C-alpha cells in the first residue's frame, strides 16, 4: 500500500493529471450539456431523433475519458525520464524512484494499478456528471437522472473498464518508447478523432479484434460494425491486449538501464 500511495501522490502532482481530471469532470459533461441543449432545440423545431436513445448522451461523451486515460498512462512513466530543472540538478525522477524502490516489477505494477483506478474513477464520474447535467437540459425529452443511470446500468462500468484498459496500454507503450509524444499523438487521435481500428474493421473483419474496436463493445449499443463482438467477448479481447501490453512493458522496464 505504501508504493500505491507514493505512486498516487506522484501522479496527481503532475500537471497533465489535472488536465486529465478537467477532461473528465469539466469538458466531457460540458459537451454532453451542449449536445443536450442542441437536441432539445432540434426536437422543438420538429426534427427526428432517428432512433437515438437520449439516455446514452453521457456514454457518448464518456468515452472521452479514454483520452484522459491515455494522458495519465503516458505521463505516469514518461515523467520519470524527464530531466529536472537545471537549478535542481537536472536529474531524472527515475533515479530517485529506483533508489527508493529497487524492485522494478513492483514499481511498475504500482504505477499500473494507480493509473487504472484513477482513470476508471474519473470516467465513471464523467458519465454520472453528464447524466446529471444533460438530462434536465433535454426538457420534456429527458428523464430523471436516477432513471437514466439505471437505464445505462452495467455500461457505466463498461466505459470505465475500456478507458482504464486504454490507459494501461498507453502506460506500456510509453514504457517501451521511453517518451510521451508518440503514444500521446497516436493513441489520443485514435480514441477521440477517428478510430483506425473501426475503419479497418469495415474492410478487414479481423480488425474488430484490435483493442479499441473490441473494447468499445463494452458500452456501445449500436455498433457501426456488421458483425461486432459481444460485450463479453469484446471485454475479454481487450483484457488480452492489455495484459500483453503490460507484460511487454514490465519486461522492458525491468531489463533496461535507467
**Which residue from 82, 83, 248, 257 is spatially nearest to 175, judged by alpha carbons?**
248
Q: What is the DSSP string of 3-53?
A: HHHHHHHHHHTSHHHHHHHHIIIIIHHHHHHHHHHHHHHHHHTT---TT--
Answer whether 68's CB lies under 8 Å from 20's CB.
Answer: yes
| Residue 64 reports pLDDT greater than 70 | yes
87: pLDDT confidence band, cut at 50, 70 and 90? very low
Give the model confidence (pLDDT) of 243-257 as tens digits: 999 999 999 988 876
Q: How far, CA to CA in Å, does 115 sit from each of 99, 119, 164?
A: 22, 6, 8
The whole-chain average pLDDT of the chain stands at: 83
Tally of CB atoms within 10 A around 212? 21
Give the model confidence (pLDDT) of 181-194 as tens digits: 766 666 766 665 55
Residue 138 CB contacts under 8 Å (≥ 6 apart), including other chains: 36, 39, 40, 54, 57
Q: What's the pTM?
A: 0.88
Answer whether 112's CB lies under 8 Å from 69's CB.
Answer: no
Give the model confidence (pLDDT) of 109-137 as tens digits: 999 999 999 999 999 999 999 999 999 99
| Residue 84 reports pLDDT greater than 70 | no
Give the model confidence (pLDDT) of 24-52 as tens digits: 999 999 999 998 888 888 888 877 776 67
Amino acid at each position: 500500500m505504501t508504493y500505491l500511495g507514493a505512486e498516487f501522490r506522484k501522479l496527481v502532482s503532475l500537471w497533465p493529471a489535472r488536465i486529465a481530471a478537467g477532461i473528465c469532470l469539466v469538458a466531457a459533461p460540458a459537451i454532453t450539456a451542449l449536445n443536450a441543449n442542441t437536441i432539445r432545440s432540434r426536437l422543438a423545431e420538429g426534427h427526428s431523433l432517428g432512433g437515438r436513445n437520449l439516455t446514452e448522451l453521457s456514454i457518448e461523451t464518456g468515452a472521452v475519458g479514454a483520452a484522459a486515460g491515455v494522458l495519465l498512462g503516458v505521463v505516469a512513466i514518461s515523467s520519470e525520464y524527464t530531466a529536472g530543472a537545471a537549478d535542481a540538478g537536472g536529474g531524472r525522477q527515475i533515479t530517485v524512484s529506483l533508489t527508493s524502490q529497487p524492485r522494478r516489477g513492483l514499481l511498475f505494477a504500482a504505477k499500473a494499478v494507480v493509473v487504472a483506478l484513477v482513470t476508471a474513477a474519473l470516467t465513471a464520474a464523467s458519465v454520472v456528471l453528464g447524466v446529471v447535467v444533460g438530462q434536465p437540459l433535454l426538457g420534456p425529452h429527458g428523464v430523471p437522472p436516477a432513471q437514466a443511470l439505471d437505464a445505462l446500468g452495467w455500461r457505466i462500468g463498461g466505459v470505465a473498464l475500456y478507458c482504464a484498459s486504454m490507459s494501461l496500454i498507453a502506460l506500456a507503450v510509453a514504457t517501451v518508447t521511453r517518451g510521451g509524444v508518440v503514444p500521446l499523438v497516436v493513441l489520443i487521435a485514435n480514441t477521440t478523432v477517428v478510430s483506425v481500428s473501426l475503419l479497418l474493421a469495415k474492410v478487414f473483419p479481423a480488425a474488430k479484434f484490435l483493442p479499441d474496436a473490441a473494447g468499445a463493445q463494452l458500452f456501445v449499443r449500436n455498433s457501426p460494425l456488421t458483425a461486432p463482438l459481444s460485450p463479453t467477448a469484446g471485454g475479454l479481447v481487450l483484457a488480452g491486449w492489455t495484459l500483453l501490453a503490460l507484460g511487454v512493458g514490465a519486461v522492458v522496464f525491468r531489463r533496461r538501464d535507467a
